[in-house]
Chain A
Amino acid sequence: AQSVTQLGSHVSVSEGALVLLRCNYSSSVPPYLFWYVQYPNQGLQLLLKYTSAATLVKGINGFEAEFKKSETSFHLTKPSAHMSDAAEYFCAVSDLGGGADGLTFGKGTHLIIQP
């Protein structure tokens, strides 16, 4: 069974500072990995996804994530935080061989941007 662990339910950074949101996964097969963002009272929007083409994945809004198989990690980063980045961020995993049976989500990390 696959699982996702997001370290830190809340992360606070200053505007302009580096954003680092941590995600570790467990999967019995090579995984597909995703980061989604959820703004208040809205649905989830895809930030980026890893599908084995490249270990460093660039997404929207200046975010990127690096897949590290040896560390079973897929941490999300952004060099300079903006106030508009304040939101809930979810890491998710899909079994490569799992067909269409949905995503397994982490519990989420609430990103707070301090002015």
Chain B
Amino acid sequence: NAGVTQTPKFRILKIGQSMTLQCTQDMNHNYMYWYRQDPGMGLKLIYYSVGAGITDKGEVPNGYNVSRSTTEDFPLRLELAAPSQTSVYFCASSSPGGGGTDTQYFGPGTRLTVL
């Protein structure tokens, strides 16, 4: 049981490039989330999904896209990278019961730098 895995761990992009951050969980969780963490700012929700085929915007969705074709995978896409997207990105998932009561399990993060 690996929990939530994210790839890559580190990435440097040039302005305007695109990339996909991968996230996979093996806990059969229905709910999955993408957060970004900026220094001194806590974590902010980018997108979330309540199940395969269903996604919704969080607090800071601009410049990102997501898809959820399977229960296990929840990739985050950056189409035109900008310096403002330099951040650490965390994927998380929560148990089938969902809602605000269930523990979110976090991946180790992807550190992205846009130059």
Instruction: Contact check, B103 vs A43: say whether CB atoms are below 8 A apart.
Output: no
Instruction: Contact check, A100 vs B101: say whether CB atoms are below 8 A apart.
Output: no
List A contacts of B31 (CB < 8 A). Answer: 100
How many residues on the A side are at the interface (Cβ–Cβ under 8 A)?
Answer: 30
**In the complex, what distance in Å separates the CA atom of A34 from the CA atom of B58?**
19
A-B pairs with beta carbons under 8 Å apart, 20 shown = A4-B42, A9-B40, A32-B101, A43-B107, A43-B108, A44-B104, A46-B104, A46-B105, A94-B99, A99-B50, A99-B98, A100-B94, A101-B58, A102-B35, A102-B45, A103-B104, A105-B42, A106-B42, A107-B41, A107-B42
List B contacts of A105 (CB < 8 A). Answer: 35, 42-44
Task: With A101-B48, A102-B45 as known contacts, state yes or no: A46 contacts B103, CB within 8 Å.
Answer: yes
How many residues on the B side are at the interface (Cβ–Cβ under 8 A)?
Answer: 29
Chain A residues with CB under 8 Å of chain B are 4, 9, 31-32, 34, 36, 41-46, 49, 51, 90, 94-108
Partner of B100, one of A36, A43, A98, A106: A98
Main SS at interface, chain B = strand
Q: Is B56 an interface residue (CB 8 A)?
A: yes
Q: Is B33 an interface residue (CB 8 A)?
A: yes
Instruction: Contact check, A94 vs B100: say whether CB atoms are below 8 A apart.
Output: yes
List A contacts of B92 (CB < 8 A). Answer: 44
* A31, A95, A108: most-surrounded residue (chain B CB, <10 A): A108
Partner of A100, one of B40, B42, B50, B109: B50
List B contacts of A100 (CB < 8 A). Answer: 30-31, 48, 50, 94, 98-99
Partner of A102, one of B30, B33, B107: B33
**In the complex, what distance in Å separates the CA atom of A31 from the CA atom of B41?**
21
**In the complex, what distance in Å separates the CA atom of A40 from the CA atom of B58?**
26
Interface residues of B in 50-106 (CB under 8 A from A): 50, 56, 58, 90, 92, 94, 98-101, 103-106
Task: With A42-B108, A43-B90, A100-B99 as known contacts, state yes or no: A108 contacts B58, CB within 8 Å.
Answer: no
Task: With A32-B100, A102-B58, A106-B42 as known contacts, state yes or no: A43 contacts B109, CB within 8 Å.
Answer: yes
Instruction: Contact check, B40 vs A107: say whether CB atoms are below 8 A apart.
Output: yes
Apart from A94-B99, A102-B58, 20 more pairs, CB < 8 Å: A4-B42, A32-B100, A34-B103, A42-B108, A43-B4, A43-B90, A43-B109, A44-B43, A44-B90, A44-B92, A44-B104, A98-B100, A102-B35, A103-B43, A103-B45, A103-B104, A104-B45, A107-B40, A107-B42, A108-B42
